[in-house]
Amino acid sequence: MLKTQEIQNIDIMLESQSNERTRIATELHDRLGSILSAVKLNFSSMEEHFGKKQESAKVRFDVLKKLIDEAASEVRKISHDLASGALAKFGLMHAIEHLIKAIEASGKIKINLFAHGMDERLSGQQEIVLYRILQELVSNALKHGVADIIDVHLIKENGKVRLIVEDNGSGFDKENIERSHGLGIPNIRKRIETVGGSFTIDSNEKSGTTVILEFPIVT
């Protein structure tokens, strides 16, 4: 009964998250999108007033107009992604690859992804749990470990899924890891427990951190 109630609570939570994404997407599209459209319309009406003696101002004007176009385009993309749910629509591997690409765009870190046996999708709940935990671990490595290389191993075999995240950051004192709320360890533990899994952390100061989590596949 407790397990059934737990699953129902998770379903309610995911449904609530989906509804919230849809609401935010609508707000972005209808409110912010309309404001950007109004700004562009007003900018465009000013264009005819530029003369030859105002070439430098015209150049700046064109740059600003381009930026507004890009902002409007991004709002549309974000609202679409929120409404459709990129993770649910395209799957875990696509979402992870997109996350890695976005993080590497900063030019400050290299993330190597090694996947084995991930051709078929997991359940929606399991994919969400894995993705959120990976986000948390990468965020920890960047913020606290000062890492510039992260290796992510995602393996599915023998009825289990294993995620291994290794970084070359500064590492942590093992005795202080559990007490450090900033590392999000309680969040990771709660997430992995919802899919019947467990995780371990191996870290030493100045020698990086390795996190291994594992859970059974439930179809």
SS3 per-residue string spanning the chain: CHHHHHHHHHHHHHHHHHHHHHHHHHHHHHHHHHHHHHHHHHHHHHHHHCCHHHHHHHHHHHHHHHHHHHHHHHHHHHHHHHHHCHHHHHCHHHHHHHHHHHHHCCCCCEEEEEEECCCCCCCHHHHHHHHHHHHHHHHHHHHCCCCCEEEEEEEEECCEEEEEEEECCCCCCHHHHCCCHHHCHHHHHHHHHCCCCEEEEEECCCCCEEEEEEEECCC
Q: Which of 181, 215, 216, 180 is nearest to 200 (CA)?
A: 215
Domain boundaries, the chain: 2-84, 90-216
Q: How confident is the model at residue 91 (pLDDT cuts 50, 70, 90)?
A: confident
How far is Cα 82 from Cα 157, in angstroms, rounded to an integer? 32
How far is Cα 219 from Cα 216, in angstroms, rounded to an integer? 10
Which has the higher per-residue pLDDT, 64 or 126?
Answer: 126
Which has the higher per-residue pLDDT, 34 or 119?
Answer: 119
Predicted structure pTM score: 0.61
Q: Is the pLDDT of residue 182 over 50?
A: yes
Q: What is the pLDDT of residues 34-57, one digit of tens each?
A: 677 667 776 666 666 666 556 666
Q: What is the pLDDT of residues 4-32, one digit of tens each?
A: 454 455 456 555 666 666 667 666 666 66
How far is Cα 184 from Cα 134, in angstroms, rounded to an integer? 12
Torsion of CA 113, 78, 126, 174, to 10 degrees: 60
- Asked if 162 and 213 count as a contact pair (C-beta separation under 8 A), the reply is yes
Which burial class, exposed, middle or buried, applies to 176 when counting CB atoms under 10 A from its CB (0-12, 13-18, 19+)? exposed
Q: Report the CATH fold assignment for 90-216.
A: Heat Shock Protein 90 (3.30.565)
Share of the chain above pLDDT 70, in %: 62
